Each structure stands twice: as C-alpha cells, then as structure tokens.
Amino acid sequence: MSSDSDPVLSVDGVSVHFDTDTGLLSRFRESNAVRAVQNVSLDVGDSDVVALVGESGCGKTTLGKTAIGVQRPTEGTVRYRGQDVWAAKDGHQETTIRATEIRRNLQMIHQDPGSSLNPNRKVLGTLAVPLKKWQPELSSEDRRARIFGLLKEVGMTPPNDYAGRYPHQLSGGEKQRVALVRALLMNPDVILADEAISALDVSLRVEMMDLFLELQDQFQTSFIFISHDLSNARYLAEESGGRIAVMYLGRIVEIGTAEEIVNNPQHPYTKALRWATPDLQPNEETEQPLRTVDVPDPKNPPSGCAFHTRCPEAREACTAAVPDLTGTDAASHKSACFRADDGHQYWDSEPLEAVEEEETTSAAPDGR
Ligand code: SF4
C-alpha cells in the first residue's frame, strides 16, 4: 500500500474475544474467553493485497472477518473509508455511510464455496440474487449480460451453459469461480478470500491464484487472502506487489513484502514457518525448528511474548513483556521480537532452555 493514500480499511487496536462460558456460574468465574485476536492494527489500501498467514487457530479468519465488518471487535475500531464500521452498522447519527454500502463493498469468499451455494438453484439464479438486491434498477437482460460477462472473465465459457447448471454439476474449482463472480458482481472495494484455494487440487491452485490476481488488477479490488501456506502467501504477495502478515496466537508478529518475509525474515516464528515450508530452501544458519509443536491454549496464552514457549531463541526477558510490532530497516517491514533492539535487556538475560533445564534439575528430588 502506498503510504500517501488513505486506507480503504483501517483496523486499529482490535481485539476479539469469544466467551466460552455460557452457564449461570459464568458471571462468578474469571473470564474464560478465547483471545482470538489481540490488539491488531492493519491498513488495507486501494488495490492492495494482504496475505494473512499462520497456522490453524492463529486468529487469521477472525481478523479477516473483523476487517470486513462481519465480526464485531471486543476492543478497537474498524474504519471503512475513514468511517467507523460498527457505528454505521449500529445506525449512529455521526456516520454518513450506510451499513448496506459497507456490506456491498466488503465481500467474502469462503473456503468451501459449495456450502455457500444453494443446491437447488442454478448458477444464473444464484448470481442474480445479489444483483436484484443491490441493483434493482437493472433489467433482466442487463443482469444476464453482466453475469455472462463475468462468467466469461473467470473462464466459464460458454457462459449460458454454466449459468444453467446446478452446484452439483460443477467441479470444486468451478464453484470457487462462481463464488468469485458473486463477490465481483458488487464491484467491491475489498474481497476477503478465506483459504479460498486450499480445498482445490494442487494443480489448480496456481491457476486459481493467477485468476484472483488478474481480476484484482482488472477491477482494482483489494484482496485479503487468508492462507496457512507460506508459499501460497508468497506467490500472491510477490505477483501483486502486496504484503504478507504473519500471525501467531492472535497477533501479527511480522509484516512486510514477499521479499522481506521470505528472503529476510526477522521473527523466529516466520523463520520456523519458512523452515517448515517444503517449497522454500531452508537457511540452516538462521532457521531452526520450534522447541515444541504444542500450540498454547488461546484461553490462557503464555505471558510476555506468547511465542516464548515454542521459540528457539527465547530468553527469560521474553516471558515478561509483549514485544511491539516495530520497524526494521525497511519502512514496510515490521517485526514483534525483542531481538530487533540491540539495547534490549533480552540480550543480557538467560536463554529460556537453560533456565528451564536448571529448574527441572533443581526440582528433581536427588538433585539430578
Ligand atoms: Fe522469541 Fe523472545 Fe523474540 Fe518472542 S521476543 S519471538 S520469544 S526471541
């Protein structure tokens, strides 16, 4: 995103907590909330591409849904073109934008397009529904022409053949193309694509990513792509000149261009992700596997840097405070790790592995 343009979407200090206590006793207990997103700020510009990457359960889908106004944040604000999304949705007077406008301009494509298509409705009928709702002034001929035009754009030709099919007569890739057409019919500013290619055959993924990028460029739409796969995130960010945001346990721990994240990762979690991605040549000198594969409980995240229980570089100081997401040498590249600061007390504290070993030894009854 160029720094001199106003963002289309602005997520500021957003946290999303889900309360898992529903019983009568819940009000007397300490909150048992899942901290899905923790104090995240992120701007999405015009024609921007942001790939959110991280392992399952890291909060990327919740963050994506919060950014497009589908999930209400527990704290923080989400702005669309400078206006508070939830103030508009709640009908507050001070906003000049209507909730319907926000809904129309911020679209989503799900991982499983089949589940969002009505099995009893042909493609034409499915695609006509949003157009009838948002552009009732269109004649049925204009609606049909618009739908056929977009079906052609996504490679579903002849369009009249595909328009007459039911979802069960489409392949997974074709269903995803229909979902893409449905989102594009609204001429949205931003599309959230949630693991939109992960259910497809490997051979189809690059083709689908290329289609997303081609249409992103053609329609000047911004995309937030959610993926658990760093090589897919890299492809999307590299080809579009966009960014990759790496998430861990509800926080963005590193953000930058594809080149910065893949060729010059700063955060130990990004390095571990890179190390575990088969397509990327590991850098044996700087990349190490995680200390444990166990993901901490998001209801009770570790103190300080939440990654300290798995980080191969963790030191005692990492358990005491949460590192800020701060800049590196490049303005676009930020990382949340104490190692970025040469003067931080991290460098004087003991490696956590040594501390844990010492504690285990001194706890053993015979001192071994
Ligand atoms: Fe690892 Fe410490 Fe950096 Fe967190 S702050 S990523 S635990 S080195």
* 187, two tokens: 């001429």
DSSP H helices, the chain, are: 60-67, 85-89, 99-105, 123-134, 140-153, 159-163, 172-184, 202-219, 230-240, 258, 268-275, 352-363
As separate numbers, helices (DSSP H) first and strands (DSSP E) second, the chain gives: 12, 12
* 321, two tokens: 């405070």
Cα distance between residue 354 and residue 366, in whole Å:
19
Q: What pLDDT does residue 2 have?
A: 46
Phi-psi region of 250 (alpha: psi -120 to 50; beta: other; left: phi over 0): left
The protein residue whose alpha carbon is closest to atom 5 in ligand 1 is 337
d(CA 209, ligand 1 centre) in Å: 33
Q: Please report where in the chains the tokens 């930058």 appear, as a residue.
A: 256
Q: Which residue among 313, 319, 335, 342 has the greatest number of ligand 1 atoms within 8 angstroms of its CB, and so is best to mutate?
A: 313
Cα distance between residue 333 and residue 245, in whole Å:
10
The protein residue whose alpha carbon is closest to atom 4 in ligand 1 is 305
Q: Please report where in the chains the tokens 């995130």 appear, as a residue.
A: 233
Q: Is the CB of 251 under 6 A from ligand 1?
A: no
User: Are 205 and 80 a contacting pair, CB within 8 Å?
Assistant: no
Q: What pLDDT does residue 367 have?
A: 40
d(CA 155, ligand 1 centre) in Å: 46
Count CA atoms closer than 13 A to 55's CA, side-chain side. Answer: 16
d(CA 26, ligand 1 centre) in Å: 34
Tens-of-pLDDT digits for all 368 residues of the chain?
Answer: 544 578 999 999 999 999 876 665 555 555 678 999 999 999 999 999 999 999 988 999 999 999 999 999 999 999 999 999 999 999 887 778 888 899 999 999 988 877 778 999 999 999 999 999 888 999 999 999 999 999 999 999 999 999 999 999 999 889 999 999 999 998 999 999 998 888 778 878 898 899 999 999 999 999 999 999 999 999 999 999 999 999 999 999 999 999 999 999 999 999 999 988 877 776 776 667 787 778 898 888 999 999 999 999 999 999 999 999 998 666 789 999 999 999 999 999 999 876 666 666 555 444 43
User: Are 47 and 220 a contacting pair, CB within 8 Å?
Assistant: yes
Ligand 1 atom at shortest distance from the alpha carbon of 268: 6
Q: What pLDDT does residue 23 have?
A: 62
Q: Which amino acid is at 322?
A: V
Q: Is the CB of 314 under 6 A from ligand 1?
A: yes
Q: Is the CB of 179 under 6 A from ligand 1?
A: no
Residues 6+ apart with CB under 8 A from 17: 31, 33, 34, 35, 36, 74
Q: Is the CB of 248 under 6 A from ligand 1?
A: no
Q: What pLDDT does residue 96 have?
A: 82
Cα distance between residue 347 and residue 350, in whole Å:
8
* 285, two tokens: 């000198």
d(CA 289, ligand 1 centre) in Å: 14
| 130 preceded by a cis bond (ω within 30 of 0) | no
Structural domains in the chain, sorted by start:
9-20+31-120+166-363 (3.40.50.300)
3-class SS at 264?
coil
Q: What is the DSSP string of 32-72?
A: -EEEEEEEEEEEE-TT-EEEEE-STTSSHHHHHHHHTTSS-
